[in-house]
A and B are shown apart, each in its own frame.
Chain A
Amino acid sequence: MPSTDEELVARSMGGDLDSFNQLVLRWERPIYALAYRVIGREEDARDVTQETFLRAFRALKGFKGQAKFSSWLYRITLNLCRDWIRREKRTPVAQAPEGVDIIELAGEGTPTDTIEALVARHELGRAVGKAMSMLPEEQRTAIILKEYHGLTFQEIADLLDCPLSTVKTRLYQGLTVLRKQLRDAGVEGHFGK
C-alpha cells in the first residue's frame, strides 16, 4: 500500500531523502500543471516546479502539518508564480506548444477519437488558454485551483488568504468572463449568449 503524504513527510523530516523524492514524484506533475496554467510558459513553469520542491525540501522542518502537504506545495508554487509575474511585469501568455502534430494529438485522445475531434479539442484548448490569460490573476488562480486541482472553496480561501465569499465571487466572475471570451473567439456552447 503506498505511503500517505503525511508518512512520507515524517520520514523525510527524519532525513530520508528517498521519501521526499517519492513526494516529488507524486506531486511534480500537478505542481507543473498549476504553474503552467498560472504563468503560461513551459520552461518557466518547469523552473517554478523545480524551485517549489527545492524550497519545500529546505523548509521541511518548518512544516507543522496544519494544512495538507499538497496545499503547502500549492502555496509555495503560487508565491513563486506571483513573483514571476511581478518580475516579468507582463501578463501570462497562452503559449501554444511548439511542434504539435496529429500524432501527438492522437496520444492525448481516446482510441475512438476522430482526427477532427482531436483537432477541435486542441483548438478549443488553445482558445481556453488564451481566454484564461486575459483574466485577472486572482480570478484565474481561483478557477485553476477549483477546476484543475479540485480544491474546495475553503481550501482555496485558506491558500489565498481571502474570505470564502471572495473565492465564490472570483469563480463566478471569472467563469462569466471566460464564457464571453470564448464566445467572442467563436467557440460555441449550448447557450450562445
Chain B
Amino acid sequence: MCDRQEQLIGFVYGELDPSESHAFEQHLFACAECRVELEALRTTRAQIAAWTPPEPHLDFQIVRGPVPARPAASRFRVSPAWGLAAAAALVMALGAAIANLEIHVGSDGLVVRTGWNRTAAVETAANGGAQLVDWKQQSQQLDQRLRAIEQALGGNHAGSVQNASASDMTDEQVLQRVREMLAQSETKQQRILAARLGDITREYDAQRRLDLMAIDQGMTRLQNTSGAEVRQYRDFMQRMVRAAAYQQTK
C-alpha cells in the first residue's frame, strides 16, 4: 500500500492545492492500489451520507426571566459579632433593671417599685466627670405611672369581667363566673349548630324532591317511547297476519 494516505484524504475531500492535486492525479494513473482505495473511500462517503438525525423539536429561545427581588439593603449592617454584643448589653441592662426592681403584694395591693430609692447616686460620666442623680424623684414618677396603668386596665373591661387583681372577688366567685361564661358559650354554639343542621336538612329535602321529579319524568318518557314501539310492533304484526291470511285465501 502506498504511503500516501494524507494525500489520498486530501484528494477525496478536495483540499489539495492545485499543484498537489495534479501530481496525485498523475500518481493515480500509475497506482492501481490507490485507485481502488480512492473508490472505496468515495463509496463509504456516499454510504454514510444516508445517516441523518431524527427531526427534533427545538425552537429554543433565550428569554429574560423576572429578576428576583433583592432584599432592600439595610442601612445598618450588623455583623453577627456586633449583634451578639448588642444583645448581651441589652440583657445586662435588663438584668440590672430587674435586679433593682422591688415587687410585693400587700394590703395596698400589688406594688412595683424600683430599688433606686437612694436619694442620690453618683455616676461617673464618660468624660470622667461626676454628677448627682435624684433617684427618689424618678422612683415616685415610676410609681405614679404604674398606678395609672393599673387603673386603666381595671376600667377597660366590660362589667361582666372584673379585674382579677381586684381584691373584692374570691376564688369561688371567680370560678363561678368562669362557669357561667362557659355555659353561655356552649349554649350559643349549640344554637348555631342546630341552625346549620336545619339548613342542611332543608337543602337535602329540596334536592331530593327535584331528583324524584326528574326520575319520574324520565320514566314517563320511557314508558311513552316503549308504548309507541309496542304499538308499532303490534300494528306490524297485524299487517303480517292479514297479509298471510290473504295469501291463504287466494
Q: Which residues of A are in contact with B by a Cβ distance under 8 Å?
A: 17, 20-21, 24-25, 28-29, 32-33, 36-37, 42, 45-46, 49-50, 53-54, 57, 97, 108, 121, 124-125, 128-129, 132, 143, 146-147, 152-153, 165, 168-169, 171-172, 175, 178-179, 182, 187, 189-191, 193
B54 beta carbon closer than 8 Å to chain A: yes
| In contact, A24 and B47 (Cβ under 8 angstroms) | no
Q: A53-B60, A152-B15 are in contact. Are A172 and B44 (CB under 8 A)?
A: no
| In contact, A49 and B58 (Cβ under 8 angstroms) | yes
| In contact, A37 and B53 (Cβ under 8 angstroms) | yes
Taking CB atoms and an 8 Å cut-off, the chain B residues in 21-60 that contact chain A are: 36, 39-41, 43-54, 56-60
- The CA of A152 and the CA of B58, in the complex, are separated in Å by 27
- CB contacts (< 8 Å) of B43 on chain A: these are 179, 189-191
Q: A125-B51, A191-B40 are in contact. Are A32 and B58 (CB under 8 A)?
A: yes
- CB contacts (< 8 Å) of B60 on chain A: these are 24, 28, 49-50, 53
| In contact, B6 and A168 (Cβ under 8 angstroms) | yes
| In contact, B53 and A36 (Cβ under 8 angstroms) | yes
* 19 A-B residue pairs with CB within 8 Å: A32-B58, A36-B53, A36-B54, A42-B53, A50-B60, A125-B50, A132-B48, A132-B51, A147-B48, A153-B13, A168-B9, A169-B6, A172-B9, A172-B41, A189-B40, A189-B44, A189-B46, A189-B47, A191-B36
Q: A37-B51, A129-B51 are in contact. Are A175 and B56 (CB under 8 A)?
A: no
- CB contacts (< 8 Å) of B59 on chain A: these are 25, 28
Q: A45-B53, A168-B9, A172-B8 are in contact. Are A54 and B62 (CB under 8 A)?
A: yes
**8 other contacts beyond A32-B53, A49-B60, A187-B47, with CB at 8 A cut-off?**
A17-B64, A20-B62, A21-B62, A28-B58, A121-B50, A147-B45, A175-B44, A189-B40
- The CA of A25 and the CA of B13, in the complex, are separated in Å by 29
- Least Cβ–Cβ distance between A144 and chain B, in angstroms: 9
- CB contacts (< 8 Å) of A46 on chain B: these are 56-58
Q: Which residues of B are in contact with A by a Cβ distance under 8 Å?
A: 5-6, 8-10, 13, 15, 36, 39-41, 43-54, 56-64
| In contact, A168 and B40 (Cβ under 8 angstroms) | no
| Shortest Cβ distance from A173 into B: residue | B5
Q: A46-B58, A132-B48 are in contact. Are A153 and B64 (CB under 8 A)?
A: no
- Least Cβ–Cβ distance between A24 and chain B, in angstroms: 5
- CB contacts (< 8 Å) of B62 on chain A: these are 17, 20-21, 24, 53-54, 57
What are the 10 A-B residue pairs with the smallest beta carbon separation, nearest first?
Answer: A189-B43, A128-B51, A97-B54, A36-B53, A124-B50, A179-B44, A168-B6, A125-B50, A28-B58, A172-B5
- CB contacts (< 8 Å) of B5 on chain A: these are 168-169, 172
- The CA of A125 and the CA of B49, in the complex, are separated in Å by 8
- CB contacts (< 8 Å) of B44 on chain A: these are 175, 178-179, 182, 189
- The CA of A132 and the CA of B53, in the complex, are separated in Å by 13
- CB contacts (< 8 Å) of A146 on chain B: these are 13
- The CA of A140 and the CA of B64, in the complex, are separated in Å by 37
- CB contacts (< 8 Å) of B64 on chain A: these are 17
- The CA of A82 and the CA of B45, in the complex, are separated in Å by 25
- CB contacts (< 8 Å) of B15 on chain A: these are 152-153
- Least Cβ–Cβ distance between A128 and chain B, in angstroms: 4
- CB contacts (< 8 Å) of A54 on chain B: these are 62
- The CA of A20 and the CA of B47, in the complex, are separated in Å by 36
Cβ-neighbour of B39 out of A25, A53, A171, A191 (below 8 A): A191
- CB contacts (< 8 Å) of A165 on chain B: these are 6
- The CA of A40 and the CA of B248, in the complex, are separated in Å by 84
- CB contacts (< 8 Å) of B49 on chain A: these are 147
| Shortest Cβ distance from A147 into B: residue | B48
- CB contacts (< 8 Å) of B10 on chain A: these are 153, 168
Q: A20-B62, A152-B15 are in contact. Are A124 and B53 (CB under 8 A)?
A: no
- CB contacts (< 8 Å) of B9 on chain A: these are 168, 171-172
